[in-house]
Amino acid sequence: MISMPVNAPSEYFRAEEKFHSARTKEEKIVALEEMIRLLPRHHGSENMIAQLKSRLAKLKKEKEGKKGGKSLSITKEGESQVCIIGFTNSGKSFLLGKLTDAKPAIANHPYTTTKPEIGMMDYKGVKIQLVEIPSTFEPQFLSIARTADLILLVASHEKEEQDLRKILADNFIRTKYIFANAFSEPPGMIKEKIWHNLNLMVVYTKKGRVSTPMALPAGSVIRDFAQRIHKDFVKNFRFARVLRKNRTTQAGLNYRLQDDDVVEIYTK
């Protein structure tokens, strides 16, 4: 099936090896997706990419057929999705219960969580979805980690941290990750750490007397903010008033926003 691609990076060949040594359809799918991602895009590789994509589609279809079409991805809700990963009894469910409205089962026997558990975390009025995946690390659960915005690795010692890093690497998961110790770090600090690593800021949209929180990528300007509210807001923009630390400033579309700013937009 595979002919020599032009200028492929060495990771590509590693993925190809994984593909050939894969024993399950899930593993083959993971490797193929990686190969497609790693192939350089140019005229000479178009055919190759098309071939790989069709192979991938076929595999996915076969897998769906076997499982009765059940999809394992978790619909993203809220501003961001964070995947919680750790070995059994590391305190993932405990942490999920502390940080969110979820009431997961916490038990001292292993593998209590057999399907992903979901909870919503509130940060200054912004909702962040946390998804705990079972410690069985099956590929269909790990695929959630692959598409999440951030991974929270729950570990209490160095060895565990290393093993978790290896699991991510072996499964080609390149999502940004951070560590937390469920039992020794205060949940409030873990929450701050999660927020900080999502690179978001909260600004408030003011309409009359009502302020509503909105999450934006750190470094956003008024234009980004306006676009989020309504596309016509940029077109009809006159100026904005930004309330920051008890001072109000009149600002244009390129004005850089900061955490906690309250923004009111005036249109034509």
Ligand X SMILES: Nc1nc2c(ncn2[C@@H]2O[C@H](COP(=O)(O)OP(=O)(O)O)[C@@H](O)[C@H]2O)c(=O)[nH]1
Binding residues vs ligand X (CB under 6 A): 86, 88-94, 106-108, 112-113, 135, 183
Minimum distance from CB of 104 to ligand X (Å)? Answer: 7
Compare residues 59 and 106 and give the one whose CB is closer to ligand X: 106
Q: How many residues bind Mg ion (CB under 5 A)?
A: 4
Q: 202 near 213, Cβ under 8 Å?
A: yes
Angstrom distance (rounded) from CA 225 to CA 101: 28
Is 93 an interacting residue with respect to Mg ion (CB under 5 A)? yes
| Torsion sign across C-alpha atoms 220, 222, 224, 229 | positive
d(CA 117, CA 131): 6
What is the token pair recorded at 106? 């916490």
| Closest distance to ligand X from the beta carbon of 92 (Å) | 3
Q: Exactly one of 81, 100, 113, 143 binds Mg ion (CB under 5 A); which one? A: 113
Partner from Mg ion, ligand X, none contacting 88, C-beta within 5 to 8 A by type: ligand X
Mark 204-226 as b/e (b = at least 16 C-beta within 10 Å): bbbeeeebebbbbeeebebbbbb
* Cβ-based nearer residue to ligand X, 161 or 260: 161
Dig out the tokens for 140 from the structure.
């269909």
Q: Which is nearer to Mg ion, 88 or 249 (CB)?
A: 88
- Residue 143's binding partner among ligand X, Mg ion, none (Cβ under 5 to 8 angstroms by kind) is none
Amino acid at residue number 154: V
Among 69, 51, 50, smallest CA distance to 60 is for 69
CA 133 to chain centre: 13
Task: Report the residue number, 108 or 254, with the smaller CB distance to ligand X.
Answer: 108
Residue 86 near which of ligand X, Mg ion, none (CB within 5-8 Å, type-dependent): ligand X
Q: How many residues does the chain have?
A: 268
- Residue 5 site contact among Mg ion, ligand X, none (CB < 5 to 8 Å, cut-off depends on kind): none
CB of 138 to ligand X, least distance (A): 15
Tokens of 87: 């070995």
Residue nearer to ligand X on the CB measure, 15 or 95:
95
Which entry of Mg ion, ligand X, none binds 108, CB below 5 to 8 A by partner kind? ligand X
Closest CA to 149 of 96, 214, 217, 101: 217
Q: How far is the CB of 97 from ligand X (least distance, A)?
A: 8
Q: State the residues that interact with Mg ion by CB under 5 A.
A: 92-93, 112-113
